[in-house]
Amino acid sequence: MLSVTLSGSFSLLPRLNNNRRSALFFARTKRTSLVTSALTSEKVAVSQDVMADSPNLSFPILVNGVTGKMGKAVAEAAVSAGLELVPISFSSVDKPARTLEISDIEISVHGPSEREEILSSVTDKYPDVVVVDYTVPDAVNANAELYCKFGVPFVVGTTGGDRSLLYKTVQDSNVYAVISPQMGKQVVAFLAAMEIMAKQFPGAFSGYKLEVMESHQATKLDTSGTAKAVIACFQKLGAIFDMNEIQMIRDPEEQINMVGVPEEYLSGHAYHLYNLTSPDETVSFEFQHNVCGRSIYAEGSIDAAIFLHKKVQSKAENKIYDMIDVLREGNMR
């Protein structure tokens, strides 16, 4: 059973040292967190309503980065959703030609030096293909430039890279894309609520000190894009924080003992905690969202691909979207 937990609380706390407060925050929120959604590891079938609204649902989808756990999860979710998985994927490193099997489909994996030639052949054979990118941060901008060069609509699930350049590349090319630092639908809804609060109540936390911890699997090299987005909202609300102060936890021992991550999910989790303390240290607010496993992101990525395919087919005026747009569209599986 994979679960997603979101919790919010406030309390009057005495000032504690950082290490002790960190342990207390995680311990207390573990006990009081409200489970708002549970996802099993079984594949989820597309609902009849979505099928009825999407007669051309079975479009081809190319998932880049299937050699990684996230890319593989997205590819499996694509097959489960009834999409046509293109038997090709890009890797971030050049290695001899190799294949791997996903949901009984043999995928041919190609390195960066082959990307342009391979993508050209893919677009010829699958003119309505949608790409979902789960490679590595260093490849984000180069991959986006390639997709835009060929006019291929794409979903960026990879975090990192130069995001300003990414948006400019897509805008200049007039290509359809879904760009989001977070693909988990429920977490995106939380982010949307934060943005609404920041817009409607600027300065509500003026002078409050913000502390942020984010724990992910050791293989995640960059800082969480979700954490940065939430922090930006708190800053608009008046909280004091420097992005360099984010506490990134990647050590498995700390994740088990301090954060409380179940051992079976050390290789795939996202635990976030945001604590705000008033200037006189008499009031503390806590916000937490914990995710174990990758199903929430994989399913959200497929929803984004389906959404994007519909926009392309309808020749929608807007070209760049995020997961909030996907949520607003409805028909979430």
Catalytic residue among 216, 269, 272, 311: 216
Structure tokens at 116: 């342009």
**Alpha-carbon distance values, 181 to 21, 75, 109, 126 (Å):** 28, 19, 25, 27
Task: Give the Cβ contact number of residue 136 at 10 Å.
Answer: 20
CB 226 within 8 Å of CB 270: yes
Catalytic residue among 110, 220, 272, 309: 220
- Locate all alpha helices (DSSP H) within the chain, ordered by sequence: 18-32, 48-53, 69-80, 115-125, 140-149, 163-173, 185-200, 225-236, 252-254, 295-313, 323-329
139 burial type by CB count under 10 A (0-12 exposed, 13-18 middle, 19+ buried): buried
Structure tokens at 133: 């990118």
Rounded CA gap, 140 and 157, in Å? 10
Q: Which helix (H) or strand (E) holds 286?
A: strand 284-292
Rounded CA gap, 239 and 122, in Å? 48
Helix axes 225-236, 185-200, angle to 10 degrees: 20
Q: Judge whether 220 counts as a catalytic residue.
A: yes
Q: Is 195 helix (H, G, I), strand (E, B) or coil?
A: helix
Place of tokens 């699958």: 126
Rounded CA gap, 105 and 115, in Å? 20
Rounded CA gap, 227 and 270, in Å? 10
Q: Judge whether 216 counts as a catalytic residue.
A: yes
Question: Which residues are marked as active site?
Answer: 216, 220
